[in-house]
Structure formats: C-alpha cells, structure tokens
Structure 1
Amino acid sequence: MRVAIQGFRGSFHEVAARQYFGSTPALNACATFGELVAQVADGRADAGLMAIENSLAGSILPNYLLLERSDLIITGEVYLPIQQHLLALPGTALPEVRAVHSHPMALRQCGDYLSRFPQWQLVETEDTGLSARLLAERRPPGVAVVAGAQAAEAFGLHILARSINDDPNNYTRFLVVERAAAAQPVARPDKASLYFYTSHAPGQLARVLTLVASHSLNLSKLQSCPRPSQPWHYGFHADVEFEAPAQLAALLAELPAVTEELRVLGAYQRGSMVFGEELANERQADRKEASRLQL
C-alpha cells in the first residue's frame, strides 16, 4: 500500500501515518497538501493522510477547500499528541540562536515561548521534518528549528528546549482520504463529515442545527469556509457523531429540504487514542471485516 503524506522524514505526518497504518505501507512524501490530494486522485497513492486541525493553532482552512474540490472521501481519522521542541546543531547554545525555522502551524503552537525572544527571526517553511533535515545538511550558524523528537533523532540534532508548545495537551487531527471508487466500506462507522450550503437568509443555519439535534447526533465540529465567487457567503463543514448508522441516514433524508447543496465527505470510525502497531492492527482487522461485508 502507498500512502501520501504532506511532509518528509521526521515530520509529524510520518508519525501519524505509522500510527494509523503501521510500518508496512510505503510513504509518498509531498511538499504540499495539493500534491497529496493529486497523488491519491490519480492513483499514485492508495490513500492519503492530511492534517485538518490542531487543538492550539486551529483549523487548516485551505485543506477544507481541497476536500470540497476533490472527489476523495474520508475513510478514517487519527489524533496525534504533538510535542514541539527547539532543535539546533550539536554544540549550539541558546544565546547563539538568531533565527527559528519551521512550518507556520508549528510556530503558532509555540507562540508563548517564541515571544520571549523578540530578537529571533521566525522563518516559515514547508515542513518541520524538512526544516530539521536542511539544518543538518546546510549547518547554517545561529539557526534553530521547531520540530518533534523524531526529527532530532533522524538528523542528529540537539534539543535546546523541550516541549515548547503553549499547552501540553496539544493534538493534531489527521484525516485519511481515498478515492471513492477504490475505498472499501468502513465497518461500524460512527462519525461522518458533511459539507453543506444554505440560502443566505436568517435562520437557515439554525434549521440545520436543529435537525442534527433532533436526531440525537453530536455536532463535534462546525467550520465555515468562504464560497468562491460569492463574497461573504459561506459553506459549512460539519462533523457529526452517532451511535447507529440509521441516525445518520435519517438526518441525510431531511437535510436536503433545508440546504441548497449537501455532500457526504465520508463516514468512518472516530479517531482512537491507541498508539502504534496496536492501532494499525485494529484498522487492519476493520478492513478485513469491511471486505467480508462487501462480499
């Protein structure tokens, strides 16, 4: 199996992919999320794993737009605890740091710590793991990076400061995406991601939310996104959790009456906090069960 991820060796995407899929699948490193989606869409990858939100830095809005514009479906999710560290070349002392490089989401997660050093230049990069690799290869003086412990180990960097993220309970949520034609049915789904648009009139969004509540679904996420070519009009991404698929089916039967556009982006199992191979074995068993149900 080939899995596309945004990022390179030592990135949190790599860790999340191994947490979900285990050690067997090959990982296709992508510089951008757009490339990740393209690889899955054209068959170069069997699945993709993409970050969608962080508990400190918030939602990654461009990725919601990628989901809207693609024909991929969401087949799973994973929550990864994130511990950001300040890494530097061995022998570098904290007073020698002049610039800090990392992905913008990583820098945002560490705003409180970084604000203590207003003299530091913050440089946004494509990826945490790539920042660490380039530091190890090019060895520029006075440069540090924000990345995880896996990047320090992979590239022989020294941890100058540990766990510099603003909140110790720092998590990133990742979505697993696949081509609809190739995806197997998800066994025992209990969560779904929807995209909908309502008329631009008072009370329309409230009608949708009332329907969700009336069918006893838990609305775990509601994210507004601008609609291209329609200034100040918004579509909505909603994640709903349920105990039985019949609850979702009943909701979907009624939503068209109060929406102008409705898409089910995927029905899947809620992310687990189980780590490593144990989670991968769980997912493999689920896929086997899904194949059996399909037969």
Structure 2
Amino acid sequence: MNKSIKDNIRVAIQGFSGSFHEKAAQHYFNETLSFVYCNTFSEVVKASEDSELSDGGLMAIENSIAGTILPNYQLLRNSALSIVGEVYLQIGQQLMALPGQTISDIKEIHSHHMAIKQCEEFLKKHPNIKLVETEDTALSAKKIKNEHLKGVAAIAGEQAAKIYDLEIIAPNIETVKNNFTRFLVINPEQRDNHEANKASLLFSLVHEPKSLSDVLITIGEYDFNISKIQSFPIIEQEWSYYFVVDIEFDEIKELYNLIEELKHKTSSLRLLGSYKKGITI
C-alpha cells in the first residue's frame, strides 16, 4: 500500500471502530492507520479501488466455523483489485452491556449474524433473551453506549468494550475456542514481492471430463501445496463455476511457470495475487 510522507495509511474496512476488521488491520500493518469505515463489503471494494479515498483495504474471506464468504470472491472477481497480503485473527466473542448489569438484566442481545452463530451454545442457555441481528458487532456496542440502552447487550470483541465503555458480563462466549477469521489485504496495484510464498488463482473450466483433475494434477507436479480450493457460481452461466485455488510455493518463478501451463488447461485464468503467507494473531 502507498503511504505519503505526511499521511497515515488509509485502510478501507467493513465495520466501525472496535471491529475485528480494525484489529486485524492494526496488527497487519503495525503502523499508524486511518480508517475508511464501510457498511458493506461492496463499499470496501469501491473505496479500495479509489486512490482518493484509501490506499487499499482489508476484508474477511473465511471463518474457521462459519466457512467461506462466497460473495466476497464475487466482489474480487468483478474488481481490478489484487490480494497483496493476508492475516488470521483469533476471534473471541464477549457479551457486553452498560456497567452495573448482569445477564439476568438482559432482555435483548444485538450483534452481526455471524457472531450470533459463533455463540449458539451460550445463547441456547438463555432462550428467553431476544436475538437481534445487526450489520456489525462494534456498531451494536456503539448503539448501546450512545442510546444508553439498559437491558440490551452486544456480542463483540474486547476492543469494542474498551472503546465504548461497556462492561463484559460474559467473556469468551464463542462455542469453539479455536475460532479464526482469515482477512485479505487488497490493493489496486499488484507489485512483485520477493517474500511471496502464497498465491490465489481464479479460473474457469470447460465442461469436459477430468478438466478439474488435470489442473490439480498439474499443480501437484510442481510440488506446490494446495491450502484451499473453493468454487462459486458464474452468475452469467447457469450451472457453471469459477474456482479459487490457494497454493503455497518456495520459488515465485515456478508460480509463473505454472500459470503459463495452466493457460492451456483452463477457459479463463487470473492471478488474484501473490503474497506472503499470513500469520495468526
């Protein structure tokens, strides 16, 4: 991402101050940042493409419990953005409310649908509490503070509780403790990265026997590790699919050799990005 001498890096993210996206970006860049807060992932992509608004963006692509966010692959496919990095964030969900309350005071719990899903076992123990889906975890916490909502709790990250002066009344309520979200760092410019050891390829195939297996066999012949394979529909063609394959490698020149070979085995092929394999925080 570009950074001028005077300005901070401007990162477009989905969510608001105190969100998991914000935390992931802070850890990835480890620099002073300014954020472009977006309501939707579509807005993140648009802001990331506009150099007047941002220097790029960061968005979630999959969760170890909830799975892949398929619409985000569609957004990447329809954009000119490249993946230039990734980071894995361990997700700890906290139940928070205005200070002085306990779980017995809570009548409603507000949060993003994915956060609610990640806390199903805890929520089953409190069937009388109404669940309200919102657009963002941190925004739910912010609303409680701004509107001084007693009897209402939010599921969000610990950072949100600190920012909005809320009290955590039930910590770490996620069902599965090894709960991780993978975030992609996206940018209009794909630069050569000498540290790159991972890449994401997007391709489509003709409807012929063994077309997919031929691609996977070719990747295997290069001794690359396939860390993910994902299909999603080609909206313009019924029952046709794009595939995204994440591969890990040692030499980037071998990646380009593979791409040249795969051009003859696919009907369309695009390098979504080459980047350094992400760390877990």
2:131 counterpart of 1:122: yes
Q: Structure 1: which 5+ residue stretches go unaligned?
A: 276-295
Q: Which amino acid aligns with 1:40?
A: S
Structure 2 residue corresponding to 1:110, chosen from 102, 114, 119:
119
CA deviation vs aligned residue, 1:185-232 (integer Å, no higher than 9, x gap): 323210001111111233221111111111111110111111113222
Q: Distance in 1 between matches of 2:278 and 2:138?
A: 24
Residue 18 of structure 1 aligns with which residue? 26
Residue 218 of structure 1 aligns with which residue? 225
- Tell me, what secondary structure is at the counterpart of 2:264? helix
Residue 247 of structure 1 aligns with which residue? 254
Residue 186 of structure 1 aligns with which residue? 193
RMSD: 1.4
Contact 1:208/1:255 (CA < 8 Å) preserved in 2? Answer: yes
TM-score normalized with structure 1 length: 0.88
Contact 1:75/1:268 (CA < 8 Å) preserved in 2? Answer: yes
- Tell me, what secondary structure is at the counterpart of 1:257? coil
Q: Structure 2: which 5+ residue stretches go unaligned?
A: 1-8
Structure 2 residue corresponding to 1:173, chosen from 175, 179, 182:
182
CA deviation vs aligned residue, 1:8-53 (integer Å, no higher than 9, x gap): 1110111111101124121111111111111111211111011111
Structure 1 residue corresponding to 2:44, chosen from 36, 43, 65:
36
Q: Distance in 2 between matches of 1:229 and 1:263?
A: 18
Shift of 1:112: 1.9
Shift of 1:236: 0.8
Structure-to-structure mapping, 1:253-268, within 5 angstroms: 253-268=260-275
Q: Distance in 1 between matches of 2:56 and 2:46?
A: 11
Residue 75 of structure 1 aligns with which residue? 84
Residue 16 of structure 2 aligns with which residue? 8
Greater shift, 70-79 or 204-213, is seen at 204-213
Shift of 1:165: 1.0
- Tell me, what secondary structure is at the counterpart of 1:240? strand
Shift of 1:247: 2.4
Structure 2 residue corresponding to 1:134, chosen from 139, 143, 161:
143
Contact 1:219/1:240 (CA < 8 Å) preserved in 2? Answer: yes
Percent of matched pairs sharing the same residue: 47
Higher helix proportion (structure 1 or 2): 1
Q: Distance in 1 between matches of 2:255 and 2:124?
A: 45
Q: Which amino acid aligns with 2:222?
A: H
Runs of 4 or more consecutive aligned structure 1 residues displaced over 6 Å after TM superposition: none
Residue 207 of structure 1 aligns with which residue? 214
TM-score normalized with structure 2 length: 0.93
Q: Distance in 2 between matches of 1:223 and 1:119?
A: 38
2:43 counterpart of 1:52: no
Residue 3 of structure 2 aligns with which residue? none
Q: Distance in 1 between matches of 2:66 and 2:119?
A: 9
- Tell me, what secondary structure is at the counterpart of 2:77? helix
